[in-house]
Amino acid sequence: MTTAPRWRVVGRGEGGAITVVDLDRNGDRLAVHAFDDDAFRRAVAADAEATRWVWHDTRWWYRMLLDAGIRISRCHDLRLSHAILRTSAWADAPALRAARGWDAGGPLEEAGPQALFDLDGGDVPVLPESLDEVLAEFERQREAVTASPQRARLELLLAAESAGALVAEELHAAGVPWSREVHAGILDATLGPRPLAGGVPARIAELGAVVRAALGDDRASLDSQPKLLRALHRAGVPATSTNRWELAEYDHPVIAPLLEYKKLTRLASANGWAWLEEWAPAGRFRPVYVPGGVVTGRWASSGGGALQLPRQLRPAVRADPGWTLVVADVAQLEPRVLAAMAGDTALAAAARGTDLYAGMVGEGVVTSRQEAKIAMLGAMYGATTGDSGRLVPALRRAYPRAMGLVDEAAAVGEAGGVVTTWLGRSSPAPGSGWQRVQQEASGADASAADETRARRSARDRGRFTRNFVVQGSAAEWALAWLADLRTRLAALPVADAPAPASGPVFAARAHLAFFLHDEIIVHAPQEQAEAVAVAVREAADAATRLLFGGFPLDFPLDLQIRADAAKG
C-alpha cells in the first residue's frame, strides 16, 4: 500500500530536468520522479486536487501550467514564505536568514529563461530552482515554523500567502473583462473625440485656453509645475504648490477651469486612448499583480495601474454575453480587523449593524458619520492635527482596547522596535539612516536641529508601525477571503454558458476577475450568479472565523450582481 504524499517538491534535477520529490507528513521521501515538460504537466493535471505543490516561485511554475489549461488547488511558494519568515518576529530562523539567494525576489523575467538574454544585467539575482536548494529551503522553512511559538498562525499565513500567489496568476490569466466601447464612450464624452496621434483632445484644448485667459498669459505652460506656479503668482494667486487641495482654497477665476483641466489631463494621460490600446487590446485588461509587494503584505501591481483604476472607468468592466459580475467589497475592513485584534467588544458592538461608523454615532462617541470616519482614519493613521486629530481623544475614551493597540504599535515604532500583524508578518527594522539620526540627537553635542529631526523621524516611524499592524492584518483577512472563495468557486458545477474570452481554465466556470485590497469582482455565468454571491459571503464568514475564531464580529459585504462594475 502506498502513502499519499503530503507535499510534492518541484525543482530542477540533473541536466535541468524537472524533478519532483514526494514527501510524507514527516518530510520523509516517498518517491522521486524526473519529468520532461509535457510529462510534468500531465502529472500535475492528474494530481491537481490532492497535493500541496512546493516550488521556488509560483510566478514561474503556475504560469506555465495555466498556459496549458491546468489549475491546481494548493501550493507552498518558497519565495514569498521566505520573505515572511526572514523578518517575522515569531520565527527564530538563523539558518533561513543565512540562506543566500532567497531574498532576491526580482521580477519574473529574472527568474526565467529571459535572464539568459539579460547579459548586461551582470549580477541580476536569480532565485534558486535546483532541486537540492529547493529541498533545503523547504526544510529550513518547516523547521522555522515548527519551532515557532505561533506555529498555527504562521502556517495559516504561509498557506494564505501561497494561495494568494495562485490567485494572482489566475487573475492575470483570466483578465478583467473590459468593454472597449464603454471606455471609448467615456473618453469621448469627457475629453471629446479622439485626437490624431500626438494631438490634444478638444475639451482639454478649450479648457487650456480658458485657463490661460484667466491667467492673462496666452503662452502659459500648464503642464510644468514650476512654470504653472510662477504664472499663478503673476496672476495674483500666492500658492505654494499646485496640488488640487491647496488651489481649491483660493478665490480666483483661474481656479475652477484649472482644476477641471488637471482632471481631464490626468484621465487622458493615465487611462486615455493610449492606455486602452496598450492594456485592453482584446476585451481583457491583464494587470500583473504582485502578492506581498507592499511591506504590510498588501498586494502591489505592476503595469497598467490595476490598483488605481479610476472609479469613473468602472462601467468599462463589463461581463461577457451570458455572464455577469458579482462585485463585493467589505464595509470598513480595517476598523473591524482592529476591533477583532484588540478584542475590543465596545468597537465590535458599534460594528454590529452594517455600518460601523453609524454605530459609533449611535453610541454617542461622535456626532456624525463623517466625523466617525475621519476620527477612525485619524486614529489608524496617526493624525495629530486638524479635525481628525481633534476627534481621536474621544475614540480613546470610547474604545480603549482598540486605540491602545495602535498607540502601542506607534510607541514601539518610535522607539525603533518591530511590530507584527495578527498572523505574523513583521515590520522591517529601522534602517541605518534612521538609527544614525536618533543617535546623533542623543549625543552630548546634539543641536536643537538634530533633536527636532530625530523626533520627527521617530514620529514618522511611529505612524508607519501604527498603521502597519492594522493594514497588514486587514490584508491577511483579505487573503483568507480570497483563498477560501477560490476554493468555493472551483467547487461549483461547470455551467452551461457561452465560453468567455478568459482562457481554457476559466471557460464555463465562475472565476475571480479583480482584487483590490478589500474588494473582489467575480466573473460568473449568469445562471450561477446567486450561487457565487452565496460563496462570496460564506468565504468572508469563513475568513473571519479562521482568523478570529468566535469573536463576536461580522464583516458585512456590500455585494451587487450586475453586468458592469459601476456602483449603483
Partner DNA sequence: AAGGGACGCGCG
Partner DNA sequence: AAAGCGCGCGTCCCTT
Residues at the site binding DNA, with contacts judged by CB under 7 A: 221, 223-227, 229, 241-245, 248-249, 262-263, 266, 269-270, 275, 290, 293-296, 298, 300-305, 307-312, 329, 370, 374, 377-378, 381-389, 460, 463-464, 467-468, 471, 516-519
Measured from the CB atom, the residue of 259 and 490 that comes closer to DNA is: 259
96, β-bridge pairs: none
At its nearest, how many Å lie between DNA and the CB of residue 444?
A: 30
Measured from the CB atom, the residue of 9 and 220 that comes closer to DNA is: 220
Residue type, 196: L
Measured from the CB atom, the residue of 104 and 295 that comes closer to DNA is: 295
User: What is the total residue count of the chain?
Assistant: 568
Distant-in-sequence, close-in-space partners of 249: CB < 8 Å, separation ≥ 6: none
Q: CA-CA distance, 429 to 418, in Å (whole number)?
A: 6
Measured from the CB atom, the residue of 107 and 504 that comes closer to DNA is: 107
Residue type, 176: V
At its nearest, how many Å lie between DNA and the CB of residue 558?
A: 11
Q: CA-CA distance, 307 to 303, in Å (whole number)?
A: 10
Measured from the CB atom, the residue of 354 and 370 that comes closer to DNA is: 370
Query: In the numeric block, which cell numbers belong to residue 505?
Result: 481554465
Instruction: Confirm if 325 and 542 have CB atoms less than 8 A apart.
Output: no
Measured from the CB atom, the residue of 162 and 465 that comes closer to DNA is: 465
Measured from the CB atom, the residue of 139 and 329 that comes closer to DNA is: 329
Nearest to 523 by CA among 513, 533, 531: 513
Measured from the CB atom, the residue of 26 and 432 that comes closer to DNA is: 432
> DSSP E strands: which ranges in 307-399?
323-330
At its nearest, how many Å lie between DNA and the CB of residue 369?
A: 10
Query: In the numeric block, which cell numbers belong to residue 163?
Result: 494561495
At its nearest, how many Å lie between DNA and the CB of residue 34?
A: 38
Q: CA-CA distance, 76 to 177, in Å (whole number)?
A: 29
At its nearest, how many Å lie between DNA and the CB of residue 82?
A: 18
Instruction: Give Cα 69 to chain centroid, integer Å.
Output: 26
Instruction: Confirm if 392 and 373 have CB atoms less than 8 A apart.
Output: no
At its nearest, how many Å lie between DNA and the CB of residue 461?
A: 8
Nearest to 510 by CA among 71, 61, 74: 71
Backbone angles phi, psi at 471, to 5 degrees: -60, -40
At its nearest, how many Å lie between DNA and the CB of residue 314?
A: 8
Instruction: Confirm if 157 and 483 have CB atoms less than 8 A apart.
Output: no
Collapsed DSSP state (helix, strand, coil) of residue 329: strand
At its nearest, how many Å lie between DNA and the CB of residue 268?
A: 8
Collapsed DSSP state (helix, strand, coil) of residue 246: helix
At its nearest, how many Å lie between DNA and the CB of residue 97?
A: 21
Measured from the CB atom, the residue of 263 and 488 that comes closer to DNA is: 263
Q: CA-CA distance, 261 to 274, in Å (whole number)?
A: 19
